[in-house]
Structure 1
Amino acid sequence: MTASRPHTLFSFGTLKDERVQTALFGRPVPTAPAALAGHTTRPLPITDPAVIAASGLDVHLTLEREIGATVEGVVLCLTDQDLAAADAYEVDDYARRRVLLTSGESTWAYLDAKPLRAAQRIVIVGDSIAYGRCDPSGGWAGRLAAAHIALDESGHRVFNLAVPGSTLADVSEQTPALLAARRPDTLLVAAGVNDSAVPVVVPGDHRDGLARIAEHLGALAATALGHNARLVVAGPVWLDEERTADYEGLRFTRERAQALRASARAWCEENHVDFLDLWEPLRGSGELFTDGLHPTPEGHRVLHRHLAALGR
């Protein structure tokens, strides 16, 4: 029989209440004062009758980012079963994610389920599609930046640091040195198709990028958490295999791109990281690609609308 693991969970709202704890866990649980920097709260209307009955409130609070702000609360010490009960208690508007307390300790917290809605300062890293190649308006990332900054020009920032040709190996190696000056609260990683590419002439020391997806995403998760930033992974875009041929010495196939998509999604689900799936919006729409790999300006508009709906 597997022993239950200990978990800590930051709470600033109803989970601090011993009556709610007793209703969920069968007892009050050990707690300690804690604080979460770089966040503030806003009200969230609740419609789930069971949650309202347990808390006695039809409006809860949710976290959103604000530099210089601090949210005071407590850390709850929970078992596996307790944590599962807390997950079941929280409505779909919340998602359990890793955060850093002001003490420097890592803990779970329930954040806005729409990761970009709660963001202020977003750093984007990835490849040529995230960079916006073939679109003078900067691609989906440029459109996301324009819309995000328009919501709050004084506080919102988007830094697109994507580099054409990058793989997740490149991104995980280069990103740590880039973040401190940008003070991000959200790190948006575009897991592009370069990790699925196979060289036409395979060198003897070639290593399959698909085999190291978990390793690179894990490194990026640690980098993001070190800055108390929320990691968000955008999956690869559908590709028109019939038109890609052998592109700059590389071969791209939908089968391997699908494998990358599945690996990234599975890793995100296992590690409670946000995954934004960009595959479906362009699936079967070869006319929205310039060369089978890079979307046209209209293709980027379609991607941005889809991404905005998922993230906001």
Structure 2
Amino acid sequence: MTESRPHALFSFGTLRDERVQTALFGRTVPSSPASLVGYTTRPLKITDPDVIAASGLDVHLTLECRLGSVVEGAVLRLTEEELAAADAYEVDDYVRRRVLLSSGESAWAYLDADPLRSAARIVIVGDSIAYGRCDPQGGWAARLAAGHIAENELDHRVFNLAIPGSTLADVAGQTPALLGPRRPDTLLVAAGINDSAVPLAAGQPSPDGLAHLADSLAALSAAARDHNARLVVLGPAWLDESRTADYEGLRFTESRALTLRETLRTWCTEHHVDYLDAWEPLHGAPSLLTDGIHPTPEGHEALYHHLTAGLRR
């Protein structure tokens, strides 16, 4: 019986080495040439002695997004057990994510563990917090854009397409048509808190947005994959429930926000999608919220520093 090899893994580095394959898998594995468009490589210093021993190198390569570039490599055909061995081999600087090869085949690849550090063209979609409501400077997203573009004026772009009041379902419906002209390599989804709201008026229809998050996330994942963009999901920020008992006819509670947070994080873990947590920077700091939900300028500053901590290397 032919052994099942259900996993395609794109490798551009040491995993193509027969010595490494023998050390990890006990043999060489089937492979074929492949290429990945929209990426380049940069060196990454390795400190794990086991990885250095297996590869013979203390500097490996990591992928970085760059429009018009291409990385040549190979597709390895792996069993479930071999894929797990490859995961164990890669250091914490890498995470396994889906990419679309030049051939049109979807494959796994090991990318930079910080999705913003490796990004070049970022599209942000979301709600009023991502839009920057209550901050004349444009919120955390505008700060991210300023720093990101200043780092590389030629290649870096940030497009903030957030719309106040949007639910995650709204974002999932609106986003696919917006991506083509902007050619993103990273889709940052910052929405969901409106899905957790409960109408206060008696008899008002109150579909539970939290029950349909998976469908919206799946649609956004498909839209990102169609453009070979990396999906990044930003969880909700902490809210001050003492001020949201009646918020424009809606009620926002900490318990439902926490359910939203855990649902998003669990879905991302199960689907190998990047999750960024925004809860802790504002947690227990009501002075950083203007109305119990929207951050003050100082609150947006705190979120920005939290989200970009990994970029200051």
TM-score by length of 1: 0.97
The residue aligned with 2:267 is 267
Q: Percent identity?
A: 73
Q: For residues 237 and 158 of structure 2, what CA distance do their matches in structure 1 show?
A: 21
For 2:197, give the aligned amino acid.
Answer: A
The residue aligned with 1:129 is 129
1:147-158 residue pairs with structure 2 within 5 A?
A: 147-158=147-158
The residue aligned with 1:115 is 115
For 2:253, give the aligned amino acid.
Answer: T
Q: For residues 161 and 250 of structure 1, what CA distance do their matches in structure 2 show?
A: 24
Q: For residues 187 and 302 of structure 1, what CA distance do their matches in structure 2 show?
A: 22
Q: Does the CA contact (< 8 Å) of 1:5 and 1:80 recur in 2?
A: yes
Structure 1: which 5+ residue stretches go unaligned? none
Q: Does the CA contact (< 8 Å) of 1:115 and 1:311 recur in 2?
A: no
Structure 2: which 5+ residue stretches go unaligned? none
Q: For residues 131 and 171 of structure 1, what CA distance do their matches in structure 2 show?
A: 13
The residue aligned with 1:164 is 164
Q: Does the CA contact (< 8 Å) of 2:278 and 2:303 recur in 1?
A: yes
The SS at the match of 1:246 is coil
The SS at the match of 2:15 is helix
Q: Does the CA contact (< 8 Å) of 1:192 and 1:237 recur in 2?
A: no
Q: For residues 255 and 90 of structure 1, what CA distance do their matches in structure 2 show?
A: 37
Measure how far apart 1:202 and its partner are: 6.0
Q: Does the CA contact (< 8 Å) of 1:51 and 1:90 recur in 2?
A: yes
Are 1:142 and 2:132 matched, yes or no?
no
Q: Cα distance 1:11–1:32, how it changes in 2: closer, same or farther (>3 A)?
A: same
Q: For residues 260 and 136 of structure 1, what CA distance do their matches in structure 2 show?
A: 28
1:251-262 residue pairs with structure 2 within 5 A?
A: 251-262=251-262
The residue aligned with 1:200 is 200
Measure how far apart 1:165 and its partner are: 0.3
Q: Does the CA contact (< 8 Å) of 2:166 and 2:191 recur in 1?
A: no
The residue aligned with 1:299 is 299
1:175-225 C-alpha deviation (Å, 9 max, x unpaired) = 000000000000000133111111112657532111111111111011101
Q: For residues 268 and 243 of structure 2, what CA distance do their matches in structure 1 show?
A: 30
Q: Does the CA contact (< 8 Å) of 1:131 and 1:138 recur in 2?
A: yes
Q: For residues 310 and 268 of structure 1, what CA distance do their matches in structure 2 show?
A: 19
The residue aligned with 2:74 is 74
The SS at the match of 1:247 is coil
Q: Which runs of 4+ in 1 moved over 6 A?
A: none
Are 1:91 and 2:80 matched, yes or no?
no
Q: For residues 118 and 202 of structure 1, what CA distance do their matches in structure 2 show?
A: 48
Measure how far apart 1:229 and its partner are: 0.4
Q: For residues 67 and 181 of structure 1, what CA distance do their matches in structure 2 show?
A: 13
Measure how far apart 1:311 and its partner are: 6.1
Q: Does the CA contact (< 8 Å) of 1:120 and 1:156 recur in 2?
A: yes
Q: For residues 102 and 8 of structure 1, what CA distance do their matches in structure 2 show?
A: 14
Please tell me the root mean square deviation across aligned C-alpha atoms, in Å.
1.3
For 2:92, give the aligned amino acid.
Answer: D
The SS at the match of 1:104 is coil
Q: Does the CA contact (< 8 Å) of 1:126 and 1:162 recur in 2?
A: yes
The residue aligned with 2:209 is 209
TM-score by length of 2: 0.96
For 2:282, give the aligned amino acid.
Answer: L
1:23-82 C-alpha deviation (Å, 9 max, x unpaired) = 101111110111000000011111100000000111100000111111010000111111
Q: Cα distance 1:311–1:219, how it changes in 2: closer, same or farther (>3 A)?
A: farther
Q: Does the CA contact (< 8 Å) of 1:134 and 1:290 recur in 2?
A: yes
For 1:112, give the aligned amino acid.
Answer: D
Q: For residues 258 and 310 of structure 2, what CA distance do their matches in structure 1 show?
A: 20
